[in-house]
Amino acid sequence: MRTRKKSAPARHAQKRKSAPPKRHAPERARKAPRGQAPAPREAAAARPDTSRPRAEAIARAGLGKKAEDVVILDVRGLTSYADYFVVMSADSERQAGAIADAVDEELERAGASKVGVEGQAGGRWVLIDYGDVVAHVMSPDARGFYDLEGLWADAPRTRMFEPAPARAESTPAQPLA
């Protein structure tokens, strides 16, 4: 039995099918050595920080309405959509609404405009987005379940406390005559 010789175009077509074209592997970003921060974080830290005062104002407004466990997470260099997260807890839906309103009033007075608000009706988790800073007002159950602090474990954090009330100046006791 005689095999028939294939024409030149048929031989080339067969070669193309059997040998897939070579593809270049995409270049991978180099990871920072273990224990060192990645380069974008260092670049973010070198920029002037204009968002920090806004994050602190949000934290103070929350503390003014008795928010608990107020934490500022510095997510610069870790995410592209915000520089800071301010996470705080509220014991009830009513308190969460009051904290969100106080935050909104405080930042409105400072001239900041919010990008959006989510969850105001529900009260388990109210998110107020100011672009560079995002405020999260959460019930303790929702906060434990979603664990934002654990999710952003690499972010430096600042725990905010209610300022101590100012003490009245007392006059020194006068010696008795």
Domains of the chain: 50-155 (3.30.460.10)
Query: Strand, helix or coil at 130?
Result: coil
Residue for token pair 């654990």: 150
How far apart CA 21 and CA 5 sit, in angstroms, is: 25
Residue for token pair 């970003």: 29
How far apart CA 118 and CA 12 sit, in angstroms, is: 60
Query: Strand, helix or coil at 73?
Result: strand
According to the model, what pLDDT value does residue 60 have? Answer: 94
Q: How confident is the model at residue 70 (pLDDT cuts 50, 70, 90)?
A: very high
Q: Which residues make Cβ contacts (< 8 Å) with residue 45, sequence separation at least 6?
A: 76, 77
| Percent of the chain residues past pLDDT 70, beyond the cut | 65
The whole model's pTM is what?
A: 0.66
Q: Name the residue type at position 53.
A: P
Instruction: Choose between 34 and 149: higher pLDDT.
Output: 149
> Mean of the pLDDT values across residues 35-45?
52
Q: How confident is the model at residue 112 (pLDDT cuts 50, 70, 90)?
A: confident
Beta bridge partners of 136: 87, 127
